[in-house]
Amino acid sequence: MSMAACTPLSFDDVTPAMWQAGMVEAARYGIIIDAPSGEIAKAGFKIRYAYDPGRQHLEMQCLEHLFFVGCDTVNETIGKAIAAIRQGESVIA
């Protein structure tokens, strides 16, 4: 069962290299991102994303999530993933 959408997240200074690294990390989870904007769904979660390389701006929003995983957890996990990519680290431990 899925719950309502979470608060959208906005990230500035996301370089094209960081965007590419994020796509590689997502692929390691079996999530293929092949466009600068769209929606991805996996394991009870649906995420909307939009990347603007000219502005180096990324917006992400969890549209659906499992009832036992709250929006705070979802958004914190996304934020930590972006922070890891910014530092050139793998998101997967």
- DSSP letters along 20-74, please? HHHHHHHHHTT----SSEEEEEETTEEEEEEEETTTTEEEEEEEEEETTS-HHHH
pLDDT tens digit at each of 93 positions of the chain: 556 899 999 999 999 999 999 999 889 888 999 999 999 999 989 999 999 999 999 999 999 998 899 899 999 999 998 998 888 766 655
Whole-prediction pTM = 0.86
Query: What pLDDT score was predicted for residue 41?
Result: 92
Which CATH number fits the domain 2-86, given the four candidates 3.40.710.10, 1.10.1660.10, 3.30.310.50, 3.10.100.10? 3.30.310.50
Query: What pLDDT score was predicted for residue 89?
Result: 67
Domain ranges in the chain are: 2-86
What does residue 33 show for φ and ψ, rounded to 5 degrees? Answer: -110, 110
CA dist., res. 91 & res. 78, Å (int): 10
Strand pairing partners for 60? 9, 49
